[in-house]
Chain A
Amino acid sequence: MSALVVTIVATIVVAIVVLVSLLLIIGLVLVFGARRFGPDEDSVVEQINAVLPQTQCAQCGYPGCRPYAEAIAEGRAEINQCPPGGEEGVRELAELLGREPLPLDESRGEHKPPLVALIDEERCIGCKLCIEACPVDAILGAPKMMHTVIAAECTGCELCLPPCPVDCIELVPRRQSFIWPLRFNSSGNRTDNSSASPTDKRETEHA
């Protein structure tokens, strides 16, 4: 009887020891691998970059969102230089980096709801200047042919406005996909989905 108990206990102990040592070995290998090849400072840049709105508008003074994120990580830039991100973006960056939120630097531009460029195709002369200016390749066209904007790719950065010789590009509020349930503003009227932006929604929820 006692011999049987000893055998059973021995089997259980062996099983536990084998599994635990297996887990331990794999864990050690993974820790070593993560230390050796893992992300180091880059991850801070990545996290900042993830918070930035990716409009690539260069209003912060850097060529795009990623260089601005690198500048913030290295302490070369303040966190309030991103107008498309708005106060909300500054707050998120402050939270991420454990800093005090700063008021948005208005000298770099004002915060606007999400916009999308629209080319007046009647007036477009097909000069390609806006295609070269677009930081996200959201304009489609060929020389002397009408151009058009791929709305899903457009970030509303306004960089295509200055080069256009015939001023045929305008920025219109981004059309939102249908939001359910219907939202009502304070006076009880239904808000127009086309003018409602995610930022507006956030502000409404905070208020």
Chain B
Amino acid sequence: MDLALIIISAALVNNFVLIQFLGLCPFLGVSSQLEGAAGMAMATTFVLTLASVASYCLTAWILEPLGLEYLRIVAFIVVIAGLVQLTEIAMRHAAPMLHRVLGIYLPLITSNCAVLGVALLNLRQQHSLVESTLYGFGAAIGFGGVLIVLAAARERLAMADVPESFRGAPIGLVTAGLMALAFMGFAGFAKL
């Protein structure tokens, strides 16, 4: 029950994009096309889940026994960058077209602050390995979910009769703001 609550908390109640405002760059950058957004959501889910596992293992088995906790940000960034590179290699091999659609945003998962944020929040909330994994997975589901929802909305908006000065990024930001407002309705569902 607690574990399910962790996923719900990370995905909805404390949604990383709309409540904690982490990872806004890919949220607005890759959400103009549904196809690209779905690919980005999958890539980020993969990286985010693995990164939370890897950062837990790194902290618990290497950094803490050696008393090197102060190196954790550097070490996390290195691990995340490595994971992103692996994802990119795998994606170029498996789905070259998706690789081209995502373009620069794929390597930029490295600097997606949601990824580092999850690793650091896991540490602060003293999650176990299983909890860390689920928290990372939940955060990824939340990120991917709102990314896909925003992409779907923006695809509709591209066809809509939007006032000229609001076309493109402004209406995207307004949409994201309204979504954040809606997500505030989840507040209080889970305390984590």
- A19 to B85 CA separation, bound complex (whole angstroms): 18
Contact assessment for A33 and B78 in the assembled complex, using a CB-CB cutoff below 8 Å? no
Chain B residues with CB under 8 A of A23? 78
A14-B66, A15-B71 given; A37·B93 CB < 8 A: yes
- Known A-B contacts A19-B74, A22-B78, A26-B78; A34 and B66 likewise in contact (beta carbons under 8 Å): no
Whether A75 is near chain B, meaning CB under 8 Å from some CB there, is no
| Chain A: CB-nearest residue to B58 | A22
CB atoms of B82 and A29 under 8 A apart: yes
* Chain B residues closer than 8 Å to A30, beta-carbon distance: 82, 85-86, 89
From the candidates A14, A29, A37, name the one contacting B68 in the complex (CB within 8 A): A14
Chain B residues in 8 Å Cβ range of A33:
85-86, 89-90
In this complex, what residue of A is CB-closest to B62? Answer: A18
Q: How far is the CA of A18 from the CA of B66 in the complex (A)?
A: 9
Cβ distance A22 to chain B, nearest Cβ, rounded Å: 6
Residues of the A chain whose Cβ atoms lie less than 8 Å from the Cβ of B89 = 30, 33-34, 37-38
B75 within 8 A of A: yes
How many angstroms between the C-alpha atoms of A157 and B82 in the bound complex? 44
Q: How far is the CA of A39 from the CA of B89 in the complex (A)?
A: 9
Which parts of B62-98 form the interface with A (CB within 8 Å)? 62-63, 66-68, 71, 74-75, 78-79, 81-82, 85-86, 89-90, 92-93
- The SS class assigned to the B binding surface is helix
* Residues of the A chain whose Cβ atoms lie less than 8 Å from the Cβ of B75: 18-19, 22
List the B side residues contacting A39 at CB < 8 Å.
Answer: 92-93
Establish whether residues A37 and B90, one from each chain, have CB atoms under 8 Å apart when the complex forms.
yes
Q: Give the residues in chain B near A34, CB-CB below 8 Å.
A: 89
Q: Which residue of A lies closest to B81 (CB)?
A: A26
Contacts of B81 in A (CB 8 A): 26
- Which residues of A from 27 to 68 have beta carbons under 8 Å from B? 29-30, 33-34, 37-39
Task: Determine if A26 and B68 form an interchain contact, defined as CB atoms under 8 angstroms apart.
Answer: no
Which of chain A's residues have a CB closer than 8 A to the CB of B74? 19
- Determine the distance from Cα of A103 to Cα of B13 in the docked complex, in whole angstroms: 65
Residue of A nearest to B70 (CB): A15
- Which residues in A have their C-beta under 8 angstroms from that of B86? 29-30, 33
Q: List 26 A-B contacts (CB under 8 A).
A: A11-B67, A14-B66, A14-B68, A18-B62, A18-B63, A18-B66, A18-B68, A19-B71, A22-B62, A22-B75, A22-B79, A23-B78, A26-B78, A26-B79, A26-B81, A26-B82, A29-B82, A30-B82, A30-B86, A30-B89, A33-B89, A33-B90, A34-B89, A37-B89, A37-B92, A38-B92
Further pairs besides A22-B62, A34-B89, A37-B93: 15, Cβ < 8 Å: A11-B67, A14-B66, A14-B68, A15-B68, A15-B71, A18-B62, A19-B74, A22-B78, A26-B78, A29-B86, A30-B82, A30-B85, A33-B89, A37-B90, A38-B92
